[in-house]
Amino acid sequence: MFIAEIISVGTELLLGEITDTNAVFLANELKARGVVLHHKNTVGDNLQRVADTIRKALERSDLVILGGGLGPTDDDLTREGIALVLGETPEVNQDLLNHLESMYTSKGRTMPQSNTKQAWLIPSAISLDNPIGTAPGWMVQKDGKIIVAMPGPPQEMKRMWKEQVLPRLDLPERALYHVTLHTSGIGESNIADLLGDLTLQNSPSVATYARKHGVDVRVAHMADSLEEARQGAAATEAIVREKLAKFIYGQDSDTLESVALKKLQERKETLAVFEAFTAGALAQKLGRHPRVKGVLSSGDHGIQVDLGLTPRTLSEEGEDSVNAAIELARGIQDRLGATYGLATVGNLETHECHVALVTDTEHKTATLNWVGTPDQLIERTSNAALMLLYRTLKGEAQ
């Protein structure tokens, strides 16, 4: 098995002052080519720690990719780290130095002395061209291992990866099949109970991830071709789909709003929404879809009563009751002449929230009661509203 490891170098990355998008990009690039990635590391600008991280990566991986630390200053230590691990001494490469000096000369400037460091090479390394920056990359192939070092600026790194690194890598021909199933209305621990030992197997692998929109379940398998990988994962994927069928609403790029709006479009029906609790979250998700006749958001009792909330419900059951949600859904449906009326109500102190979906002949509701910040409660309630709509449009019983 060919294993890769990514090392991001820079104290600003370690301390969270910059988001490490390079590692995300590289992980996706490796995944797309069937390369197994077991570790990603971030290390600050300290020579010994950079060297130790490289040394440990070489012990367990075939390909070690470093990003950052190739600048001209004293705290750019990737070159020194590689050289220390390999026991080699960097020397100025005259061709690289001439190239750097010509870059400055062509702009009418004199190259700072510190940039000389970017012309360093060790005997076992080749340089990787960087046509849009001053930091060339390094590539070392030694003792069956490969080390690649690329500059930190994302545009420079991505171009160097595609133009300089990939053509030089003799990657094994392996393919990864993976699918991410999106669920709603069930917690991660409940999913783990339903899946049982499936999450313990290595391949096909089954993993769960808690997200803002619900819990994702990823099934993945690697083989010599994509079709072999797909077939190898088929039985496991079928079991996962069967066990979680009630809660799965989509996969990969699907979102709750996209699948609900797609169903609404297919049925040629319309939707009107009143958000007494979710404060525009549904409006943001639904956008200006032609099947959405309108989304109104207000916590004003006068507006709510004008829309359909009865004074009796308001005084006896409260603005955050189930009946309030039903009456508001009915009111917005009538006012905008839509097939469906959808409404949200809730209470930040009790954490109890309700959604209601009405048609001319019936209504359905869903209730949430769980801990969380106001933002979390709003997100969960808007998701519950979309899930109620989606299941209704699919003809599923609640």
| Residue range 283-295, pLDDT digits in tens | 999 988 999 999 9
pLDDT > 70? residue 369: yes
Domain count, the chain: 3
What's the predicted TM-score (pTM) here? 0.77
pLDDT > 90? residue 31: no
Same domain, 25 and 108: yes
CA distance 388 to 396: 9
AA letter at 127: S
pLDDT in tens, 157-191: 999 999 999 999 988 778 889 999 999 989 999 99
Same domain, 324 and 293: yes
pLDDT in tens, 83-121: 999 999 999 999 999 999 999 999 899 999 999 999 999
Q: How many CB atoms lie within 10 A of CB 245?
A: 9
Same domain, 164 and 15: yes
Same domain, 25 and 155: yes
pLDDT > 90? residue 333: yes
3-state secondary structure of 345: strand
Which residue range is the domain that position 354 belongs to?
256-394
Helices marked H in 271-373: 281-286, 301-307, 311-312, 322-336
CA distance 92 to 117: 7
3-state secondary structure of 6: strand
Question: Percent helix, strand and coil across the chain, each rounded to 5?
Answer: 45, 25, 30
What residues contact residue 62 under an 8 Å CB cut-off, 6+ apart?
2, 3, 4, 144, 145, 146
Task: Spell out a b/e string for 73-88, using b for 16 or more CB atoms within 10 Å of the CB, else e.
Answer: eeebbbbbbbbbbbeb
Domain finish residue from 222, 251, 280 = 251
DSSP conformational letter for 200: G
Same domain, 275 and 332: yes
Cα separation of the two ends of the chain: 47
Residues paired with residue 215 on neighbouring β-strands, in sequence order:
183, 210
pLDDT grade, residue 398 (50/70/90)? low
Same domain, 16 and 159: yes
Tell me the percentage of the chain whose pLDDT exceeds 90. 90
CA distance 280 to 292: 14
Q: What pLDDT does residue 397 have?
A: 62
Structure tokens at 99: 């190239």
Structure tokens at 304: 């709510």
Q: What pLDDT does residue 341 have?
A: 98
Instruction: Write down the mean pLDDT value for the chain.
Output: 95
Tell me the percentage of the chain whose pLDDT exceeds 70. 99
pLDDT > 90? residue 196: yes
Same domain, 246 and 276: no
Domain finish residue from 168, 202, 230 = 168
pLDDT > 90? residue 4: yes
CATH number (domain holding residue 389): 3.90.950.20
Contact indicator for 294, 272 with CB cutoff of 8 Å: yes
Q: What pLDDT does residue 171 have?
A: 84
Same domain, 126 and 14: yes
CA distance 228 to 31: 16
Contact indicator for 368, 322 with CB cutoff of 8 Å: no
**Average pLDDT, stretch 4-29?**
96
3-state secondary structure of 218: strand
Same domain, 306 and 268: yes
Same domain, 7 and 130: yes
Residue 172's φ and ψ, nearest 5 degrees, are: -65, 145
Same domain, 153 and 35: yes
Domain finish residue from 121, 152, 168 = 168
pLDDT > 80? residue 50: yes
Same domain, 84 and 215: no
Largest CA distance in the chain: 87
CA distance 27 to 19: 15
CATH number (domain holding residue 186): 3.30.70.2860
Q: Return the closest-CA partner of residue 63 out of 45, 32, 38.
A: 38
CATH number (domain holding residue 37): 3.40.980.10
